A and B are shown apart, each in its own frame.
Chain A
């Protein structure tokens, strides 16, 4: 009797466990897609963790970190400087004497990580827990990889051994993590996850538009061959921007296909990603929004306009957190923090700052405005709708004029200051204008940071070849733009142009290292690159060559480069410029190779090798920056050292030479 009862209860428990498991698998599949996506997520997490240093490395992170601490305590306003020397830090905004940060979307997304870390620190030493998490991710990664590559036994046993050894090695040299750094760590880990998810989304986008194999290569390139791996652990907005852009592109591409289930919802998802970006950094969201609208208008058949209410509804809904945050801070739902007055310690006494001044136009109506940011909800309801509409109109005008102003400025810069653009995109060198901020030449150009983009040289050749082929088959079809692939490429091109113009005026700039402002462009650049028909072919057919070239380049080339740089006793600026020149060299080799690919398949193997070496170059640079060059880049007071203790030991060894 009792036996049967126990049996039945056991079966119940088993069924419940099974149900939970099935649900989690379902939820996981929604995010990563399939086993390849899972492998990319885990592999990216493990790699980015190696590049993670715990701490604050750029002064405006003080602002967001202090805003985040306030948020964890349930307040929007900042009251004390937990991090940094004072509250007078870049990016601090003020309304009626109350201080606010910015990038609130990013901060809210980091909250769950903070709670998780707080919870874990109750039962475990945080450093050990992080090391354990990393080792377990590595173990899981090797198991998944073994299944994918059909070498289950070897990968599982090998992965177990490696995970165990690395865990023990890390524990052996572990140092405690200061408790007060947890908020910063939470922001960093959230950003790391965003970086790893970017690789997954690239895989899903390219995997769907081209082939899964090309998608995997694209995901790997995103993390290894671009500076995204380096920037992911540094809690700035750029990696979140990249993820939002990729999500929007993925949803947009999917919505071009009539066969997509819940198509309107997916279509709305593209705009929801834009809304999320607005919550993080509104001007960039405007660029993404414009690019999406343009691509949508061009690629939608007339019948698609029936989806407008659904798409618009989802967009409006997704914008609510953004509007709510603005309302609580500025008293006006349509004025994001960046349009507010900046905090300056000298101005504190004079106090009253009006949220409307960002545009230089007249202040918003008195019903809520500057007087009481939190109280506007209790105003008389008559004028509210009209007032709200007026404000919306004002906001659109402000945003529109600011935006157009920025773009025009960008065009002007592109026309008159070609050398600045050249410095930003091709060859950095020593930029005199920046010498006050950073005396050494440590800010690389886009191509120097990601030599892989040299492959984009193939684009015009591939396009012409394509055109010739379709002309021959008398098959030019204007409807083709409605297909997912060309429509996505169009969105990418428009986005790239507008995004470049947005920042053209301000670049080159100090504290960029690898042009972080343009981080999303690296991601869409990778997507554009592998979608070129010949490169797609190389990725698909010569994957092995690519993989071995990358591994060889990192393991052998990395040692040669490290040996050279350290034995020559190069100064920081010289070492960075050495990597810059090496990057340009790799980019040129790749560029020469890809030009042949549209016409012949004979050079596919060397091109795959060049892709691998360009990837390895970026990996070696990133690893050296966080180890050997880390002390030279400056010591900051908020510093918990490298996330993984063995990387810290490696860094000490390398910088001691």
Chain B
């Protein structure tokens, strides 16, 4: 019985003590810190980007489990990023002019990241009513922005096939 009392009061006391000691009144230690990421200003510096692979085709198909929406699926590509200074921005987009849609991620490059970058585009919902054709022309674009200049790393046209 003494043991259980000790455990409860010990743990409770420890928790309260840590809370007080880290608080502004005592301020002995700061336990909450923003996760350290890149501290360099966004859009500064430069990098060397080598494209390893980009998909040749993409599909638009109906969602599963009765979700009934149409989704654009783009297989992943990959790139190798080296010689990073500052925090340049790599933007990867797919644009389908006929559907008026553009989408894709913006990657913030950082020196301490791994050099392999996966280029993946999240599944994008497409309004069924706009899908008149069986296939659409689309463009994949990879742009690097750093130190105030834009570099077109790669531009590639692909076909998006509609699967009904």
> A residues touching B (Cβ–Cβ < 8 Å)?
121-125, 127-129, 132, 135-136, 139, 143, 152-153, 156-157, 160-161, 163-164, 167, 171, 174-177, 427, 429-430, 435, 439-441, 569-571, 573-574, 576-578, 580-581
Q: Which residue of A lies closest to B123 (CB)?
A: A571
A441 touches B67 (CB 8 A): yes
Partner of B65, one of A156, A171, A577: A577
> Residue-by-residue, is B19-57 near A (CB-CB < 8 Å gives 1, otherwise 0)?
110111100001111110000000000000000000000
Partner of B66, one of A139, A176, A177, A441: A441
Q: Which residues of A contact B3 (CB under 8 A)?
A: 153, 157
B8 touches A139 (CB 8 A): yes
Q: Kindly state the separation between the CA atoms of A428 and B95 in the bound complex, as whole angstroms.
A: 32
A139 touches B18 (CB 8 A): no
B69 within 8 A of A: yes
B8 touches A581 (CB 8 A): no
B24 touches A136 (CB 8 A): no
Q: Tell whether A128 pairs with B25 under 8 Å between CB atoms, given A139-B8, A435-B127, A578-B65.
A: no
B20 touches A577 (CB 8 A): no
Partner of A164, one of B14, B20, B22, B69: B14
B125 touches A125 (CB 8 A): no
- Sampled A-B contacts (24; CB under 8 Å): A121-B24, A124-B22, A125-B19, A128-B19, A129-B19, A136-B16, A153-B3, A156-B8, A160-B4, A160-B10, A174-B32, A427-B66, A430-B63, A430-B66, A441-B68, A571-B71, A573-B69, A574-B65, A576-B67, A577-B63, A577-B64, A577-B65, A580-B65, A581-B66
Q: Give the Cβ gap from A93 to chain B, nearest Cβ, in Å.
A: 34
A128 touches B22 (CB 8 A): yes
Partner of A171, one of B20, B31, B64, B69: B31
Q: Which residues of A contact B151 (CB under 8 A)?
A: none
In order of increasing CB-CB distance, the 5 nearest A-B pairs are A430-B68, A124-B23, A577-B65, A160-B7, A571-B123
Q: Kindly state the separation between the CA atoms of A221 and B10 in the bound complex, as whole angstroms.
A: 34
> B residues touching A (Cβ–Cβ < 8 Å)?
3-4, 7-8, 10-12, 14-16, 18-20, 22-25, 30-35, 63-69, 71, 122-123, 125, 127
Q: Kindly state the separation between the CA atoms of A580 and B4 in the bound complex, as whole angstroms.
A: 45
Q: Give the Cβ gap from B99 to chain A, nearest Cβ, in Å.
A: 14
Q: Kindly state the separation between the CA atoms of A164 and B6 in the bound complex, as whole angstroms.
A: 13
A429 touches B68 (CB 8 A): yes
* Main DSSP-derived SS at the A contact region: helix
Q: Which residue of A lies closest to B19 (CB)?
A: A132
B25 touches A122 (CB 8 A): yes
Q: Tell whether A128 pairs with B4 under 8 Å between CB atoms, given A122-B24, A174-B32, A578-B64.
A: no
Q: Kindly state the separation between the CA atoms of A36 and B19 in the bound complex, as whole angstroms.
A: 29
Q: Give the Cβ gap from A222 to chain B, nearest Cβ, in Å.
A: 28
A123 touches B24 (CB 8 A): yes
Q: Give the Cβ gap from A274 to chain B, nearest Cβ, in Å.
A: 40
Q: Give the Cβ gap from B107 to chain A, nearest Cβ, in Å.
A: 14
Q: Which residues of B contact A132 (CB under 8 A)?
A: 15-16, 18-19
Partner of B11, one of A129, A160, A435: A160
Q: Tell whether A441 pairs with B63 under 8 Å between CB atoms, given A167-B15, A571-B71.
A: yes
A136 touches B15 (CB 8 A): yes
Q: Kindly state the separation between the CA atoms of A136 and B68 in the bound complex, as whole angstroms.
A: 46
Q: Tell whether A573 pairs with B8 under 8 Å between CB atoms, given A430-B66, A441-B67.
A: no
Q: Kindly state the separation between the CA atoms of A454 and B163 in the bound complex, as whole angstroms.
A: 36
Q: Which residues of B contact A157 (CB under 8 A)?
A: 3-4, 7
Q: Which residue of B lies closest to A156 (CB)?
A: B4
B32 touches A125 (CB 8 A): yes
Q: Kindly state the separation between the CA atoms of A580 and B67 in the bound complex, as whole angstroms.
A: 10
Beyond the given A124-B24, A128-B23, A129-B23, please list 14 additional residue pairs across the A-B interface where CB-CB is below 8 A.
Answer: A121-B24, A125-B22, A156-B4, A160-B4, A160-B7, A160-B11, A164-B15, A175-B32, A177-B32, A430-B68, A441-B69, A569-B123, A571-B63, A580-B65
Partner of A139, one of B11, B35, B122: B11
Q: Give the Cβ gap from B108 to chain A, nearest Cβ, in Å.
A: 15
Q: Which residue of A lies closest to B120 (CB)?
A: A569
A429 touches B22 (CB 8 A): no
Q: Which residue of B lies closest to A569 (CB)?
A: B123
Q: Give the Cβ gap from B30 to chain A, nearest Cβ, in Å.
A: 8
Q: Give the Cβ gap from B100 to chain A, nearest Cβ, in Å.
A: 15
Q: Which residues of B contact A164 (CB under 8 A)?
A: 11, 14-15
Pick the most buried of A143, A153, A157, A571: most chain B CB atoms within 10 A of its CB. Answer: A571
Q: Kindly state the separation between the CA atoms of A107 and B12 in the bound complex, as whole angstroms.
A: 32
B33 touches A176 (CB 8 A): yes
Q: Which residues of A contact B66 (CB under 8 A)?
A: 427, 429-430, 441, 577, 580-581
Q: Which residues of A contact B71 (CB under 8 A)?
A: 571, 574
A440 touches B25 (CB 8 A): no
Partner of B63, one of A123, A125, A573: A573
Q: Which residues of A contact B69 (CB under 8 A)?
A: 430, 439-441, 571, 573
Q: Tell whether A430 pairs with B31 under 8 Å between CB atoms, given A156-B7, A171-B18.
A: no
Q: Which residue of A lies closest to B122 (CB)?
A: A571
Q: Tell whether A123 pairs with B11 under 8 Å between CB atoms, given A571-B123, A576-B67.
A: no
Pick the most buried of A122, A569, A574: most chain B CB atoms within 10 A of its CB. Answer: A574
B23 touches A123 (CB 8 A): yes
Q: Which residues of A contact B18 (CB under 8 A)?
A: 128, 132, 167, 171
Q: Give the Cβ gap from B119 to chain A, nearest Cβ, in Å.
A: 15
B65 touches A152 (CB 8 A): no
Q: Which residues of A contact B64 (CB under 8 A)?
A: 570, 574, 577-578
Q: Give the Cβ gap from B104 to chain A, nearest Cβ, in Å.
A: 15
Q: Kindly state the separation between the CA atoms of A440 and B62 in the bound complex, as whole angstroms.
A: 12
A125 touches B23 (CB 8 A): yes
Q: Give the Cβ gap from A138 to chain B, nearest Cβ, in Å.
A: 10
Q: Give the Cβ gap from A131 to chain B, nearest Cβ, in Å.
A: 8
Q: Which residues of A contact B32 (CB under 8 A)?
A: 125, 127-128, 174-177
Q: Which residues of A contact B23 (CB under 8 A)?
A: 123-125, 128-129
Q: Which residues of B contact A577 (CB under 8 A)?
A: 63-67
Q: Which residues of A contact B15 (CB under 8 A)?
A: 132, 135-136, 163-164, 167
Q: Give the Cβ gap from A319 to chain B, nearest Cβ, in Å.
A: 41
Q: Kindly state the separation between the CA atoms of A167 and B14 in the bound complex, as whole angstroms.
A: 10
Q: Kindly state the separation between the CA atoms of A156 and B63 in the bound complex, as whole angstroms.
A: 49
A174 touches B31 (CB 8 A): yes
B16 touches A571 (CB 8 A): no
Q: Kindly state the separation between the CA atoms of A578 and B63 in the bound complex, as whole angstroms.
A: 11
Q: Kindly state the separation between the CA atoms of A135 and B30 in the bound complex, as whole angstroms.
A: 19
Partner of A440, one of B30, B35, B125: B125
Q: Kindly state the separation between the CA atoms of A72 and B88 in the bound complex, as whole angstroms.
A: 43
Q: Which residues of B contact A136 (CB under 8 A)?
A: 12, 15-16
Q: Which residue of A lies closest to B17 (CB)?
A: A132
A139 touches B12 (CB 8 A): yes
A571 touches B25 (CB 8 A): no
